[in-house]
Amino acid sequence: MQAGKNIPVLLTLLLMAALYYASCTKPGNIELPATPAKLVLHGYIGTGDTFQIALGRTFKSQGQLVYRDDTFVENGWAVLYEGGTFLDSLHWDSASKRYIASHAVATPGKTYIIKAGAQGFENVESGSYAPRPVFLTNFARTRNTRKDAQGIWLDDLSLKFNDPAAENNFYLASLYLPQIRPSCIFTYDPAVERYTPDVMAFQDAFCIEPTAIMYSDRTFNGRSKEITLSLQSGALDSVFFGMQLHRPYLTRYTVTEEYYRYFLTNNTGGGGLAEEGPIFTSTNPTGGNVKNGYGLFTIFSAVTDTIR
Which helix (H) or strand (E) segment holds residue 176: the answer is: strand 170-176
Answer whether residue 28 is part of any domain: no
Q: Residue 166: left (phi > 0), alpha (psi -120 to 50), or beta?
A: alpha
140 shares its domain with 249: yes
Question: Can you give the pLDDT at residue 279?
Answer: 42
Q: How far apart are CA 196 and CA 243, in angstroms?
A: 41
Length of the chain: 308
**Residues linked to residue 111 through DSSP beta bridges, in sequence order:** 129
Question: Can you give the pLDDT at residue 98?
Answer: 95
113 shares its domain with 155: no
**Residues linked to residue 96 through DSSP beta bridges, in sequence order:** none
Q: Give pLDDT tens digits for 9-30.
A: 444 444 444 444 444 444 455 5
Per the structure, the count of domains in the chain is: 2
Q: How far is CA 144 from the centre of its chain?
A: 33
| Secondary structure class of 222 (helix, strand, coil) | coil
Q: Give pLDDT tens digits for 253-264.
A: 999 999 998 888
Question: Can you give the pLDDT at residue 36?
Answer: 84
pLDDT > 80? residue 107:
yes
**CATH label of the domain that carries residue 48:** 2.60.40
Question: Can you give the pLDDT at residue 171?
Answer: 97
Amino acid identity of 150?
Q
pLDDT > 60? residue 188:
yes
Q: Are strands 239-241 and 244-246 parallel, antiparallel or unpaired?
A: antiparallel
177 shares its domain with 190: yes
Per-residue pLDDT band for 289 (boundaries 50, 70, 90) equals: very high
